Amino acid sequence: MTQQFDESMFYDEFSMPLLGDDFPKLEVQTTHGPMNIPADLKGSWFVLFSHPADYTPVCTTEFVAFQKKNDEFEKMGCKLIGMSVDQVFSHIKWAEWISENLKVEITFPIVAANDRIANRLGMLHPGKGSNTVRAVFVGDPEGKVRLVLYYPQEIGRNIDEIVRAVKALQTSDKNKVATPADWPNNGLINDRVIIPPATNVKDAAKRKEQYDCYDWWFCHKPLER
């Protein structure tokens, strides 16, 4: 008897999460013990970032950079979680090496992923062996995927941009606004925020009276502190 191929099972196993999706449920082992992601992070923003391998130069610089920004993430109510397919004892020893040699203590958990988890998050790329790419997932307090970034193995991430992106997401959610390019240092409107475009003729006619505008579809205001 021929076994029927269930396409839905294939995509559930291997299609990576998209913006707005629920973050995949993962039971993982970390340097801080077992974790259920995103259940254990409910109520908190989080940044889950993968790296190709422990004991590699670019990854080491990234972990130091993430740790040095950890206080900023914590002030935003955002937790950091690292991840690669290395075993947990390797993560522990690598973190010890960083502390002893670079004088930086890694305080966030590092997930020991397997190929199934890595595939589920789209972190294994053809032609790159078993190493995971540099993926970044930002999740919100409800466990929704809000931002996804992928970098090749050869390019280290800009941690300031990830801090900025979390701040921008939180600002957008709280104030129901959009943020411009390079916010809060935009070349046109500086640290001001953008009003969502009007959706009917009546509101469009009022926009220039209510806000500072280049036109009714491009209006902005100071961010309420």
Q: Tell me the pLDDT tens digit for each residue of 79-91.
A: 999 998 889 999 9
Which pLDDT score, from 0 to 100, does residue 119 have?
Answer: 76
The reply to whether 191 falls in a domain is yes
Which pLDDT score, from 0 to 100, does residue 127 have?
Answer: 59
CATH classification at residue 197: 3.30.1020.10
Same domain? For 195 and 146 the reply is no
Which pLDDT score, from 0 to 100, does residue 170 have?
Answer: 98
Same domain? For 94 and 20 the reply is yes
The reply to whether 67 falls in a domain is yes
Which pLDDT score, from 0 to 100, does residue 184 have?
Answer: 96
Does the annotation mark 219 as catalytic?
A: no
Same domain? For 145 and 200 the reply is no
Same domain? For 153 and 180 the reply is no
Of 157, 192, 215, the domain-final residue: 157
Amino acid making up residue 204: A
Q: Is residue 83 a contact partner of residue 110, using CB atoms and an 8 Å limit?
A: yes
CATH classification at residue 57: 3.40.30.10
Tell me the CB-side half-sphere exposure of residue 96, using CA atoms within 13 A.
7
Indicate which residue of 59, 78, 213, 219 is catalytic: 59
Task: Say how many domains are in the chain.
Answer: 2
Distance, CA of 72 to CA of 33 (rounded, Å)? 24
Which pLDDT score, from 0 to 100, does residue 124 have?
Answer: 66
Same domain? For 42 and 99 the reply is yes
Look at phi and psi of residue 55 and say left if phi exceeds 0, alpha if psi is from -120 to 50, else beta.
left
The reply to whether 103 falls in a domain is yes
* Nearest-5° Cα angle at 168, 165 to 173: 125
Distance, CA of 54 to CA of 157 (rounded, Å)? 16
Distance, CA of 4 to CA of 38 (rounded, Å)? 32
Distance, CA of 218 to CA of 181 (rounded, Å)? 14
Same domain? For 142 and 70 the reply is yes
Q: Domain range spanning residue 197?
A: 176-225
Which pLDDT score, from 0 to 100, does residue 113 have?
Answer: 86
Same domain? For 20 and 110 the reply is yes
Same domain? For 51 and 134 the reply is yes
Same domain? For 131 and 182 the reply is no
Question: pTM of the predicted model, to two decimals?
Answer: 0.87
Same domain? For 78 and 114 the reply is yes
Mean pLDDT over the full length of the chain = 89
The reply to whether 165 falls in a domain is no
Predicted confidence pLDDT, tens digits, the chain (225 residues)? 444 434 443 344 446 788 999 999 999 999 999 999 999 999 999 999 999 899 999 999 999 999 999 999 999 999 999 998 889 999 999 999 999 999 999 999 999 988 788 777 877 666 555 566 789 999 999 999 999 998 888 899 999 999 999 999 999 999 999 999 999 999 999 999 999 989 999 999 999 999 999 999 999 999 986
Same domain? For 142 and 188 the reply is no
